[in-house]
Amino acid sequence: MPKAKSVQRVKPILSIASDELKRVLAAYGHHRQYFPNEELFAVGENAEYLPIIISGRVKMVQFPDPGKEVIIGIFGAGEMFAVPPVVDGDVYPASAYALEESEILLLHRDDVFKLLAESPEFTLAVLNWMSSMLRQKTALIRTLAGGSAEQRIAGVLIRLFSASSDEPPLKIKLRREDIARMAGLTTETAIRTIRHLAAIGDIRIEKGKILIDSTDGLSAHLES
């Protein structure tokens, strides 16, 4: 069986945008500060704004059952998210909350379309984002549909690694409980699986924190 390819990390839009695009985004959008656990938007609301994270981190979550939270995405500084509903005029498919104090640039949907018409650089960034998310969602569905605990946890850790702009080793800041929710597992199963992945050298654990040097070992779990 061929060796799984290492995941290519998607660069956040603000880390690769030209000074001109950054200037235009700042001119069109408006800044807002959010406190930890503050809601940016709720599932079912009209998707009127495209959020771009200046600083901080945001999670998108769904609540399939009362008291049950499923994290469908974690986004960090420089990233945009919730692109599809803004583009197609639908509602937000999930709720979004700040994980920490965060500064968000909110770009109104009308201005998104102005930029798509005026800026090839912005258009390319949106297309790259959509393509990357489609690949990630396809891989996630395949893993969650019948994957083992190792495959599910590996898939989540790869997603977090590829979404981060930090240089390796990447320190995972999420709690084990959050990782379990993203993988559709119990916290106990996630803890056991993470310890196993560390024992075989796919990740490292230092002072209780998960460190990922590369996704080579994790990607091997997704071979099937």
**Is the same domain home to 167 and 120?**
no
**Is the same domain home to 212 and 169?**
yes
Cβ atoms of 70 and 184 closer than 8 Å? yes
1 located within any domain: no
**Is the same domain home to 39 and 98?**
yes
**Is the same domain home to 20 and 121?**
yes
pLDDT tens, the chain, 224 aa long: 344 444 455 678 998 999 999 999 999 999 999 999 999 999 999 999 999 999 999 999 888 777 777 788 888 899 999 999 999 999 999 999 999 999 999 999 999 999 999 999 999 999 988 887 777 777 666 666 667 899 889 988 987 887 676 778 989 988 899 899 888 889 999 999 999 999 999 999 999 999 999 988 888 887 65
63 located within any domain: yes
132 located within any domain: no
**Is the same domain home to 21 and 123?**
yes
Q: What is the pLDDT of residue 212?
A: 95
Q: State how far the Cα of 153 lies from the Cα of 202, in Å rounded to an integer.
A: 11
**Is the same domain home to 172 and 96?**
no
Q: State how far the Cα of 38 lies from the Cα of 209, in Å rounded to an integer.
A: 25
For residue 171, give the DSSP letter: E
**Is the same domain home to 106 and 173?**
no
**Is the same domain home to 159 and 112?**
no
**Is the same domain home to 25 and 62?**
yes
Task: Tell me which of 92, 127, 162 is where a domain ends.
Answer: 127
The domain spanning residue 106 has which CATH number? Answer: 2.60.120.10
**Is the same domain home to 55 and 109?**
yes
Total domain count for the chain?
Answer: 2
The dihedral built from the CA positions of residue 197, 202, 208 and 210, taken in this order, carries a sign that is negative
Q: Which residues constitute the domain of residue 74?
A: 13-127
**Is the same domain home to 80 and 156?**
no
Q: What is the pLDDT of residue 204?
A: 96
Q: What is the pLDDT of residue 111?
A: 97
Location of structure tokens 């090839």: 120
**Is the same domain home to 24 and 79?**
yes
Q: What are phi and psi of 140, to 5 degrees?
A: -65, -45
